[in-house]
Amino acid sequence: MSEHRTWERRELGRTGLEVTVMGLGGAWLGHRGDGTFDEATGVETVLRGLESGMNFIDTSGAYIGGRSEQFIGIALEEWFARGNRREDLVICTKTGTRVRPHDYSYDFTMKSIETSMKAIGVDFLDTVLVHDPESLDPVLEPHGARDALKQLKADGVIGAIGLGCRSHEHHRRCIETGDFEVSLTFKDFNLLDRSAMQGVIELAVEANVGVVNASIMVNGFLGGTEPASMVDRAKYHGRLPDGPIAQAQRLWEWSRDREVDLGTLNLQYCMREKRIASTVLGFSGPHRVDQNVDAFFAHIDDEVWSALETEFGL
């Protein structure tokens, strides 16, 4: 079992919330590896993350067909039964993608948040993100998702409002409205791709918007397995990374030569960036929690970081 650690916590922009630098992502809870999900494993995974000291949970009504929120709800019922407090956690979910086609209307947003709270078993959500909109028009137009979230915030049902998507342009537009307090960006801040720094993070920090980083392993190519050995399988599953595979292989070989695990190096690299409040990892099982917690607290010599900066211009 992962031991309880003393975690660094960072302010999530102007929300008044403090989150652990590693967050518990709900997209893969209980995943068996064959496309199916096991409830007991998913629940145990959430509990293991909380037991390790993480306080930030990120999920969505779209994850596992809504079952991610249910797994989290079952785990939280057990967690609170042990005497732990709701106010010590920061719970984030997302709206808009629970159905297809995605729906960013006022009425659906209200219904989606009600469904989320019932599944998670809480009467307050610390943060709600608009999830993966192709266009911001239905989000920002009158009587759209933004208006619904602002009303829920005014009613004391939710805390902070944010956006979770990959489009940097969408993030910038939402930040500039002044209504959005959290930006979750993914795949664009890691050892392969740091475009989120100029695309999202710098503007977010200037506006005192909290930044959450996700999908840092880039479909596993920065997870520690030799990238060259993963190409055929990734092609089969349509999961080739956006970043150059040759660069991932070069990073892997460089790390191997210094007896450092690439997954550990990438994880710590992301979390060393103080402008990012929390990096969310999608754990499938308790063993993945243990593995990544150990990786975060593993020692990497200062000389390695200096050499990495020199060699790769980071």
> Which tens digit of pLDDT belongs to each residue from 55-74?
999 999 999 999 999 999 99
Provide the token pair at 183.
Answer: 């930006």
What is the reported pLDDT for 6? 86
Residue 2 lies in a domain: no
CA–CA separation, 142 vs 138, rounded Å? Answer: 8
What is the reported pLDDT for 242? 55
CA–CA separation, 281 vs 266, rounded Å? Answer: 12
What is the reported pLDDT for 1? 53
Domain count, the chain: 1
What is the reported pLDDT for 52? 97
* Counts of helices then strands in the chain (DSSP H, E): 13, 10
Backbone region of residue 167 per phi and psi (left: phi > 0; alpha: psi in -120 to 50; beta: other values)? beta
CA–CA separation, 204 vs 245, rounded Å? Answer: 30
**Please, what's the b/e burial string for 41-68 (b: 16 or more CB within 10 A of its CB; e: otherwise)?**
bbbbbbbbbbbbbbbbbbbbbbbbebbb
Residue 165 lies in a domain: yes
Residue 90 and residue 55 in contact, taking contact as beta carbons nearer than 8 Å = yes
Residue 20's SS3 state is: strand
What is the reported pLDDT for 5? 75
Residue 310 lies in a domain: no
Name residue 281's amino acid: L
301, containing H or E segment: none
Domain of 48: which CATH number? Answer: 3.20.20.100
What is the model's pTM? 0.94
Residue 75 lies in a domain: yes
Q: Is the peptide bond before 101 cis (omega within 30 degrees of 0)?
A: yes
Nearest to 109 by CA among 133, 91, 89, 73: 133
Strand-pair category, 182-186 with 210-214: parallel
pLDDT in tens, 82-122: 999 999 999 999 999 999 999 999 999 999 999 999 999 99
Name residue 236's amino acid: Y
What is the reported pLDDT for 229? 86
pLDDT in tens, 181-212: 999 999 999 999 999 999 999 999 999 999 99
| Range(s) of the domain holding residue 152 | 9-220+264-300
What is the reported pLDDT for 234? 66
What is the reported pLDDT for 45? 98
Burial zone of 121 (CB within 10 Å; 0-12 exposed, 13-18 middle, 19+ buried): middle
What is the reported pLDDT for 235? 65
Could you report how far apart the first and last alpha carbons of the chain are, in Å? 34
What is the reported pLDDT for 314? 83
What is the reported pLDDT for 86? 98
**Which residue numbers in the chain have pLDDT < 50?**
none
CA–CA separation, 112 vs 135, rounded Å? Answer: 19
Sign for the CA dihedral angle at 259, 261, 23, 48 comes to negative
Residue 104 lies in a domain: yes
The contacts of residue 232 (CB under 8 Å, 6+ apart) are none
DSSP secondary structure of 141-207? STTBHHHHHHHHHHTTSEEEEEEE-S-HHHHHHHHHHS---EEEEESSSSSS--THIIIIIHHHHHT
Provide the token pair at 26.
Answer: 């709900």
Burial zone of 262 (CB within 10 Å; 0-12 exposed, 13-18 middle, 19+ buried): buried
264, containing H or E segment: helix 262-272
CA–CA separation, 168 vs 201, rounded Å? Answer: 9
